[in-house]
Amino acid sequence: MSERTDTSDAATRAESEARGAELREELATTDLRRAEEDEAKAEAAIEDAQKKESKKERKRREAEERRTAAAAEAEAARKRADEAKAAAQPVREQPSVSGASVTSPGLGSGTDPKAAASANAPRLPGAAPDPDEKPELYVAAAFAGGFLFAKMLKRIAE
């Protein structure tokens, strides 16, 4: 009976080792499948990153093209404005001083009547002051506006 027990123990042991080998094989297969899935996810992530990068590059390129087009358009508009300004300024001959063409100081015979009336009108107390009178107010307003703008940008960035 002892031989039988030894043989059955050996058979059980061999069967257990075979089952253990099968389980290790299944585990290795599962590990391989997981590694392949991870590799596929990594490749998908790389592909997505490349798509995002190409999309960002395309947007950057389009923005650069728009900036270039806007700069060209602005330059053309400046050129047209300069040409229009040059065309609008008539060539004036040297005026000769004679009693016939002299009128009151600052007002010529070609002056618009409304402009002449405005020049001679008294200043009203509630009217806006000339910019030359208090330039420090404009500096203070610009500083306050810049300060508020910076505060708003800081809030947006947070």
Distances (CA, A) of 138 to 106, 123, 126, 131, 151: 29, 21, 18, 8, 20
Q: What is the pLDDT of residues 91-118, one digit of tens each?
A: 666 555 555 455 555 566 677 777 666 6
Q: What percent of the chain has pLDDT over 90?
A: 56
At residue 11, what are phi and psi to the nearest 5 degrees?
-65, -40
Question: Which residues are within 8 A (CB) of 106 and not within 5 positions of it... i.e. 6 or more apart?
Answer: 119
**Interatomic CA distance for residues 74 and 13, integer angstroms:** 89
**pLDDT over 70, % of the chain:** 73
Q: Is 133:142 a contact under the CB 8 Å cutoff?
A: no
- Over the stretch 35-69, which tens digit does the pLDDT of each residue have? 999 999 999 999 999 999 999 999 999 999 999 99
Q: Residue 123 pLDDT more than 90? A: no
Q: What mean pLDDT is reported for the chain? A: 83
* CA distance to 31, 143, 157, per residue, from 154 (Å): 50, 16, 5
pLDDT at residue 112 in the model: 73
Residue with tokens 């270039």: 68
Domain spans of the chain, in order of start: 1-86
pLDDT at 95: 56
